Amino acid sequence: MKVAVFGGGAVGLGLASCLLAAGETVHLHVRRRAALAALRRHGIQREGLFGPRLARPEEFEVSTDPSALPAFGPEVVLICTKSPDLDAAATALARVWGDLPGEPGVVACMNGWGAAERLARDLPPARIFNATITTGFRRHPLYRVHVTVHGADVRMGSLFGGPAAELAPLCDALTKGGLPSAVSDDMEAEIWAKLLYNCALNPLAALLGVAYGSLGENPASRRVLETVVGEIFAVLAASGRRTKWPSADAYLDFFFRELLPPTRDHESSMLQDLRAGRPTEIDALNGAVARLGQNAGVATPVNAALATLVRSLHPSLYPDQGASA
């Protein structure tokens, strides 16, 4: 299988490493020349939970130019950028789409709500898929990825009725490479399950500067977390969307029992972005909940407040919204 990976960050390197470990053919598209040089010199070094793995430079292709993709001829394209970089990735892929041999499946491998809809503005909706990833990856330096935690298996599917079964070979390859993955027939439920997890943990852990586990142990932060989840379930009910649990209480029981313990020591990627002065994914997480709630006539004051607080730490990164939710 030929797989193009858009994004040389932690998730992109992590998925590329698993695919290479499974013997697949990988083309890695990166934005920065520094990353290009580092990967061509050192390859991809993986460490942590799934065990060490070195992919030598000659084992994969890497470029900064999307025009290299048609010659590679990908069967699948994984979009592994952060949500603030999705526009650039979608535009770059659309520019070469007509030159690709066939129409590859395009899988959005990022947090939050709205990625598939954004890609569908430039690409055929039937070729767009989503993936939910509850595995922690950290990149440092530019060629090394550390697998820190694994909370749940990867799930892949379509919000547009696309042929999700064609992703089965990709899921099998990732599983063979160390990352358990499977196709889902209800991707909307999968995305909202991941959104609940991220909205409850990421911004609050980033604002407080703590690991995930502390949020459940502290009574005050636990109440905030529970309120975030309650608001999301109200939005789900009002907008006719679905997830895997019948109520906020049922989700919270599962969350504290099954999801939080294996990731209790994980540090939020949003906290890493804030420290580095990078745009965060807040607008695709709690910001998206606030917008959907407004459209559905449901108040989401805590989700909106968390989004405002995260933006306020680096207001110049959000010129269109300032400090508003």
Looking at the structure, do residues 132 and 232 belong to the same domain, yes or no? no
Domains contained in the chain, number = 2
Is 103 within 8 Å of 124 (Cβ atoms)? yes
**pLDDT, position 180:** 96
Contacts of 220 (CB under 8 A, 6+ apart): none
Range of 298's domain?
Answer: 189-315
Looking at the structure, do residues 48 and 173 belong to the same domain, yes or no? yes
pLDDT in tens, 220-243: 999 999 999 999 999 999 999 989
Looking at the structure, do residues 149 and 213 belong to the same domain, yes or no? no
Residues of the chain with pLDDT under 70: 319-325
Closest by CA to 251, choosing from 229, 236, 231, is 229
- For residue 139, being part of any structural domain is answered with yes
- For residue 293, being part of any structural domain is answered with yes
Looking at the structure, do residues 26 and 166 belong to the same domain, yes or no? yes
Q: 144: which 2 tokens?
A: 């090394």
- For residue 321, being part of any structural domain is answered with no
**pLDDT, position 319:** 67
Looking at the structure, do residues 221 and 278 belong to the same domain, yes or no? yes
**pLDDT, position 320:** 65
Is 65 within 8 Å of 38 (Cβ atoms)? no
Residue 156's CATH number: 3.40.50.720
Which of 158, 185, 212 terminates a domain? The answer is: 185
Residue 215's CATH number: 1.10.1040.10
Which of 168, 185, 202 terminates a domain? The answer is: 185
Q: Which H helix or E strand runs over 280?
A: none
- For residue 320, being part of any structural domain is answered with no
Looking at the structure, do residues 153 and 216 belong to the same domain, yes or no? no
Q: Is the peptide bond before 124 cis (omega within 30 degrees of 0)?
A: no
- For residue 21, being part of any structural domain is answered with yes
